Amino acid sequence: MMGKGSLHTNIDDVGFQAIFAGLKLPILLLDSQQRLIKFNQYAQDVFQLEQATHLGQDAAQVLPWLAGRLNMGSQSIVDFKCVITTVEGERHAAVRVAALAQAGENYYLITLHDETEQKEIEAALLATQQRLLDFIDFLPDPTFAIDNAGRVTIWNRAMEQLTKIPKEKMLGQGNLAHSIPFWGERRLTVVDMLLKGEPVLPLDGPYREMHWDGHTLYAECFATALNEGQGAYVWIKAAPLYDSAGNLIGAIETVRDITENRKALLALQTSEQRLRHITDNLLDIIAEIDPRGRILYISPPVQKLLGYRPDELLGRCAFDLIHPEDRKHVKRVLLSPTREDHSRIEFRCATAQGAFFWAEAVANCVHNEQRQLQQVIVAVRNVSDRKHLEERLTYLSWHDSLTGLYNRRYWQGQLQMMEDARIAPVSVLLCDVDGLKIVNDTMGHDAGDRVLTQVANILVKHCEEKEIAARIGGDEFAILLPGGNRERVLSLSQAIRQDVERYNNENPTLPLNVSIGIALRIDANEPIAAVVKRADDRMYREKLNRSHSVRNSLVQALSLALEARDFGTEGHTKRVQELAIMLAKKLGIPGSSQNDLRLLAQFHDIGKVGTPDHILHKPGPLTETERQEMQRHPEIGHRIALASPDLAPIADLILKHHEWWNGAGYPLGLKGQEIPLACRILAIVDAYDAMTSNRPYRSAMPKEEAIAELRRYAGTQFDPQLVPLFISLIEQELEPTAGSGSADNQAPQ
């Protein structure tokens, strides 16, 4: 129920009805049950109401913005603002609800006033003010402002950097708080003097240079509290602030640190461009261009960066300095009416000599009150080094760092592109480097890298422009041939095989062994993955067929490499074989075991192919680290032997051929009968031949001394039962030439 404050009026009065119908405002009349009982034509049009449909309906259901708004209590009039939905869309409205009473009945009279345009004007004003604050915040010079009461109203980012005081702490502060960061105490600053009227120029105060230019006050001083108490010379510009009615509402001050270039900045203060000339000491180019791209101003660093004097570029079109391929994009970003106020863009910029470098521009636009573009302020810097680094990183993300070929990621992307584009014909060639692990384990990863690089060079050599060569695994390569028919992929495969064979003929100590598989897609609907699978299967079958010969050829190549590096390996091997078989026969060892002993004598040091030359050929004693490296050769030889079917039977013997009778040998520390007989025989004859052969660090010793050394180490290094037997055989050979003691007929090792 409405309270006693309800207005009394006759709703059936002719004058009331005329006002009700004639006002250009939406008017609604509700009964005490808050049901629509009347609305004027304007309300009918705005809310699309129908007499037959909506009269008698609950007003809050028809007009949801009324929900909860009609509980008036004792008030006769209630005003509120809300957003309403009309035929024109959502609008801001001021609503008045008046309680009426007539003949004992209560009513609600509702009127609405459209405030949408006023809201838009207020929003535009706020936006303009925000843009102004944003522009001031962007200024490179420290800037602050105070109102008439001396309270700080603006404190931009540059001022924060200069004083190390955040704006949140300074905004709203009064009582000369803004002077403390400059002087360490509260005292009048230029902006305070300006608000009090024209200051008296002090003769011995801090502001020794001060002058007016219209309503703007300029000054210079040494601010003792800046720079963490070390002080700084600053140039100051202050001006009053007025409202739209011309009333003084405060003042604004800009500060510039001129400690390092005070004399230059003092000269610039007499110029109309003093605000722009702060850019003289920047590494970046600062420029202003108009909406047509003409250069209105450009800073002196342009001469160092582009080779032009600033006056040579004034009035020219800035886009003439941009690479033709980038020009259209830069225009669109910088001069588009709808572009962001702040933007960043990269492009290629031209020097006066016609060279191009990568530049980065940060641009900010200046608009008038109608949001029309007036000019664009651009900061340009040379980012060529960064761009080259980015390009290098991009290159590395798509390429294999060892071979320079594309990597697996790029390869898979190209396969997907072929799949999506349904390209046919398309051919695939897969190539696997056989025996790479043996090369890495024995000759080192540098040798393995040389093998991979050589294979990559052969592949690239025979690829045409649109064909893609990639390293897709540790020892796997692939070539994708878009549009490649059967003849092309067969020709490519044959050319690769011929180059591999030619290389192996010229480099027998480090041969290339590759297995190749090819496949062709003719039907564009066939999945590209199926084509790759066919090529992989064919390559694998070839790999299996060649595996025995590949491993043996690698072992032979390693033997050749060892002969090329070691001293007299061939002569040493032959002599050790003869001595070992002589002792084996004396022991009655069967022929099959003698064959294993021959192989052991020939290949026992095959693992030395993985020992660095500086250790293998060192004339003096080895260091502990070098000794440990040398002692790895039985394990390396063991792995090599396991990789060759012909040497696999003696792999265990190669591993144990440096074990000592007393357990002090390596790598397993076996002792006594745990050491295979063949290894115990080899240990004696190998040591004897080594002692009686020339070495880099000593000459061959006489055979009698070598025999004495064998007796000395019998029971420690050598089998004590085999040593006397071997010595008796050697002494029998010495009898015809006893006393000679010469080793001249021995080939050096």
pLDDT score, position 137: 76
Q: 388-402, 442-456, 607-621 — which is least confidently predicted?
A: 607-621
Q: Looking at per-residue confidence, does 560 or 591 come out higher?
A: 591
pLDDT at 207 over 50: yes
**Most trustworthy range by pLDDT among 463-472, 545-554, 572-581:** 463-472
pLDDT score, position 458: 93
pLDDT score, position 540: 86
* Count of C-beta atoms within a 10 Å radius of residue 46: 21
Q: Looking at per-residue confidence, does 496 or 334 come out higher?
A: 496
Q: 199-203, 537-541, 670-674 — which is least confidently predicted?
A: 199-203
Please give the Cα distance from 676 to 542 (Å, whole number). Answer: 38
pLDDT score, position 742: 33
Q: Looking at per-residue confidence, does 427 or 282 come out higher?
A: 427
Query: What are the distances in angstroms from CA 651 to CA 469, 555, 607, 642?
Result: 39, 13, 11, 6
What stretches of 463-527 show up as alpha helix (H) in DSSP? 486-506
pLDDT at 200 over 70: no
Q: 201-210, 255-264, 619-628, 649-658 — which is least confidently predicted?
A: 201-210
What is the arithmetic mean of pLDDT over 598-612?
80
What stretches of 269-356 show up as alpha helix (H) in DSSP? 302-306, 310-313, 324-335
> Taking the chain, what is the end-to-end CA distance rounded to the nearest angstrom?
123
- Quickly list DSSP for 98-109: EEEEETTEEEEE
Residues 6+ apart with CB under 8 A from 67: 60
pLDDT at 452 over 90: yes
Q: pLDDT of 329-372, one tens digit each?
A: 888 877 765 555 667 888 888 888 888 888 888 888 777 777 77
What integer best gives the mean pLDDT of the chain? Answer: 81
Q: pLDDT of 308-318, one tens digit each?
A: 888 888 888 88
pLDDT score, position 53: 87
pLDDT score, position 517: 92
- Nearest C-alpha neighbor of 210 from the set 131, 266, 149: 266
DSSP 699: P
Q: Looking at per-residue confidence, does 373 or 230 come out higher?
A: 230
> Do the beta carbons of residue 402 and residue 454 sit within 8 Å?
no
Q: pLDDT of 183-197, one tens digit each?
A: 889 988 888 888 876
Q: pLDDT of 656-682, one tens digit each?
A: 999 999 999 999 999 999 999 999 999
Please give the Cα distance from 82 to 114 (Å, whole number). Answer: 10
Q: Looking at per-residue confidence, does 268 or 123 come out higher?
A: 123
Q: pLDDT of 525-538, one tens digit each?
A: 999 999 999 999 98
What is the arithmetic mean of pLDDT over 480-492?
91
- Quickly list DSSP for 151-216: -EEEE-HHHHHHH---HHHHTT--TTGGGHHHHSS----HHHHHHHSSPPPPSSSS--EEEEETTE
| Beta-carbon-side half-sphere exposure of residue 185 (alpha carbons within 13 Å) | 2
pLDDT at 270 over 50: no
| pLDDT class of 469 with cuts at 50, 70, 90 | very high
CATH of 7-114, one of 3.50.50.60, 3.40.50.920, 3.40.50.10740, 3.30.450.20: 3.30.450.20
| 55 token code pair | 């009269």
Residues 6+ apart with CB under 8 A from 401: none
Residues 6+ apart with CB under 8 A from 241: 145, 248, 249, 250, 251, 252
pLDDT at 748 over 60: no
pLDDT score, position 695: 65
| Beta-carbon-side half-sphere exposure of residue 437 (alpha carbons within 13 Å) | 6
Please give the Cα distance from 479 to 460 (Å, whole number). Answer: 9
| pLDDT class of 744 with cuts at 50, 70, 90 | very low
Class of domain 399-548: alpha beta
pLDDT at 591 over 90: no
Instruction: Name the pairing type of β-strands 426-433 and 356-367.
Output: unpaired
| pLDDT class of 745 with cuts at 50, 70, 90 | very low
DSSP 605: T
CATH annotation of 566-737: 1.10.3210.10
Query: What are the distances in angstroms from CA 678 to CA 581, 653, 659, 667, 682?
Result: 10, 7, 12, 17, 6
| pLDDT class of 740 with cuts at 50, 70, 90 | very low
- Nearest C-alpha neighbor of 182 from the set 239, 221, 237, 137: 221
What is the arithmetic mean of pLDDT over 468-488?
92
Please give the Cα distance from 429 to 398 (Å, whole number). Answer: 19
| pLDDT class of 467 with cuts at 50, 70, 90 | very high
What is the arithmetic mean of pLDDT over 431-448?
80
pLDDT at 498 over 60: yes
* Count of C-beta atoms within a 10 Å radius of residue 37: 16
Q: pLDDT of 18-29, one tens digit each?
A: 667 767 789 888
DSSP 58: B
One fold for 7-114 and 284-388: yes
Facing residues of 89 across strands?
86
Superfamily of domain 121-278: PAS domain (3.30.450.20)
> Do the beta carbons of residue 427 and residue 481 sit within 8 Å?
yes
What is the arithmetic mean of pLDDT over 581-585?
90
pTM equals: 0.43
pLDDT at 696 over 70: no
Q: 60-64, 331-335, 739-743 — which is least confidently predicted?
A: 739-743
pLDDT score, position 747: 27
* Count of C-beta atoms within a 10 Å radius of residue 113: 13
Please give the Cα distance from 126 to 340 (Å, whole number). Answer: 18
If you search the block for the tokens 């070691």, which residue do you land on? 566
pLDDT score, position 340: 59
Q: pLDDT of 153-192, one tens digit each?
A: 889 888 888 889 998 999 899 999 998 999 889 988 888 8
- Nearest C-alpha neighbor of 256 from the set 219, 206, 201, 210: 219
pLDDT score, position 630: 86
What is the arithmetic mean of pLDDT over 465-487?
91
Ordered by start, the domain boundaries in the chain are 7-114, 121-278, 284-388, 399-548, 566-737
**Phi, psi angles (nearest 5°) of residue 197:** 110, 180
Query: What are the distances in angstroms from CA 676 to CA 30, 172, 656, 661, 713?
Result: 116, 95, 8, 11, 18
If you search the block for the tokens 């110029």, which residue do you land on? 271
- Nearest C-alpha neighbor of 140 from the set 324, 291, 276: 276
Burial class (CB in 10 A: 0-12, 13-18, 19+), 458: buried
pLDDT score, position 134: 72
Please give the Cα distance from 673 to 675 (Å, whole number). Answer: 5
CATH of 284-388, one of 3.30.450.20, 1.10.3720.10, 3.40.30.10, 3.10.310.30: 3.30.450.20
pLDDT score, position 495: 94
Q: Is residue 121 helix, strand or coil?
A: helix
